[in-house]
């Protein structure tokens, strides 16, 4: 079949919430190692699409496969996670009452069983991995602070760090730059770029400067009313008349 080398393949997805068609006949394919940016106006179905991939909601019709053999529609959230699909939420979702390090510890790849949680020890290489991630996300000196006391941007990074700890094959990153300063946004972009190739990444974003930064030479997918409006390089989609009409037209000044 043609989907053979795709990491993630969605075909004919439909999902409506009490009459509102959030996802409409959506087809989407992602190759291994890609860094794909998904843009689209509010209500285009971006977050719903991530909900479908991660098992938070189930589609009305359609198919969704991971590594061609795994039917994601038959799995629940934690089973899908265990396949290696990690998600960063739109609003930073970290464990506020836990320390930064504990947040990473809970996200580390490894057994998710009760017995392991009771008797399992933290291995040396896991400690080292946590140190490494803390360094990557620039939170080394806040390692023992409660995550709830972090600034907004730091929480976003911590959540990205949690995805790194998981060692996910596919990272789904929902608006990582939301609420960040320009400098933080730029650093986040660099962080994502450095991960591309090692991981496959889907980034949902509004900030066009940020999109340009991370999507140079890569595919950008534009969603509109739950459907793929067009796909191509960032220049191509920004000059596409349909895109300008539904999305960039309203934001032309900003872009």
Candidate segments 3-11, 40-48, 67-75, 90-98, binder of another protein by CB under 8 A? 90-98
Give, as ranges, the residues between 154 and 193 that touch another protein (CB under 8 A): 162, 166
Distance of alpha carbon 81 from alpha carbon 59, whole angstroms: 18
* From 7-15, 73-81, 218-226, 237-245, span contacting another protein (CB under 8 A): 73-81
Distances (CA, A) of 217 to 54, 57, 188: 27, 32, 18
C-alpha R_g of the chain: 18
Q: Are 28 and 211 within 8 A, CB to CB? A: no
Considering the complex, state which of residue 55 and residue 226 has its C-beta at the smaller distance from another protein: 55
Closest CA to 85 of 156, 171, 161, 158: 171
CA of 160: how far to CAs of 62, 93, 116, 141, 227, in Å?
30, 10, 25, 17, 27
| Residues 6 or more apart in contact with residue 186 via CB below 8 angstroms | 213
Is residue 141 close enough to count as binding another protein by CB under 8 A?
no
CB of 72 to another protein, least distance (A): 14
The answer to whether residue 81 forms part of the interface with another protein (CB under 8 A) is: yes
Residues that contact another protein, how many (by CB under 8 A): 30
User: Per CB under 8 A, does 114 bind another protein?
Assistant: yes
Calculate ∠ Cα 181-234-33, nearest 5°: 85
3-state secondary structure 100-149: HHHHHHHHCCCCCCHHHHHHCCCCHHHHHHHHHHHHHCCCHHHCCCEHHH
* 87 SS3 class: strand
144 forms part of the interface with another protein (CB under 8 A): no
Which residues lie closer than 8 Å to 109 by C-beta, 6 or more apart? 165, 166, 167
* CB closer to another protein, 1 vs 115: 115
Asked whether position 123 contacts another protein by CB under 8 A, the answer is: no
For another protein, which stretch binds (CB under 8 A), given 36-44, 63-71, 101-109, 192-200?
A: 101-109
208 binds another protein (CB under 8 A): no
Among 86, 153, 161, 226, binds another protein (CB under 8 A): 86
Binding status of residue 70 toward another protein by CB under 8 A: no
Decide if residue 102 touches another protein (CB under 8 A).
yes
Choice from 17, 96, 135, 239 touching another protein (CB under 8 A): 96
Paired tokens of 180: 């960040």
77 binds another protein (CB under 8 A): yes
Binding site for another protein (CB under 8 A): 54, 56, 76-78, 81-82, 86-87, 89, 93-98, 102, 105-107, 112, 114, 116-120, 122, 162, 166
């Amino acid at each position: 079949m043609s989907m053979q080398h795709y990491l993630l393949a969605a075909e004919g997805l439909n999902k409506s919430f009490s009459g509102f068609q959030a996802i409409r006949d959506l087809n989407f394919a992602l190759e291994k190692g890609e860094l794909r940016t998904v843009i689209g106006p509010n209500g285009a179905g971006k977050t719903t699409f991530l909900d479908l991939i991660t098992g938070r909601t189930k589609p009305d019709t359609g198919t969704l496969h991971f590594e061609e053999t795994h039917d994601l529609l038959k799995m629940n959230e934690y089973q899908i996670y265990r396949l290696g699909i990690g998600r960063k939420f739109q609003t930073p979702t970290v464990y506020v009452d836990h320390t930064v390090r504990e947040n990473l510890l809970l996200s580390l790849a490894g057994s998710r069983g009760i017995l392991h949680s009771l008797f399992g020890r933290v291995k040396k290489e896991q400690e080292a991995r946590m140190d490494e991630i803390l360094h990557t996300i620039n939170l080394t000196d806040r390692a023992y602070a409660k995550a709830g006391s972090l600034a907004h941007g730091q929480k976003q990074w911590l959540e990205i760090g949690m995805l790194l700890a998981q060692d996910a094959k596919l990272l789904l990153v929902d608006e990582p730059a939301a609420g960040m300063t320009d400098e933080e946004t730029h650093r986040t972009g660099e962080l994502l770029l450095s991960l591309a190739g090692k991981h496959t990444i889907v980034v949902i974003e509004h900030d066009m400067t940020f999109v340009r930064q991370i999507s140079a030479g890569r595919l950008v997918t534009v969603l509109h009313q739950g459907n793929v409006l067009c796909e191509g390089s960032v220049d191509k989609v920004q000059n596409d008349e349909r895109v300008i009409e539904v999305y960039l037209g309203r934001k032309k000044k900003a872009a």
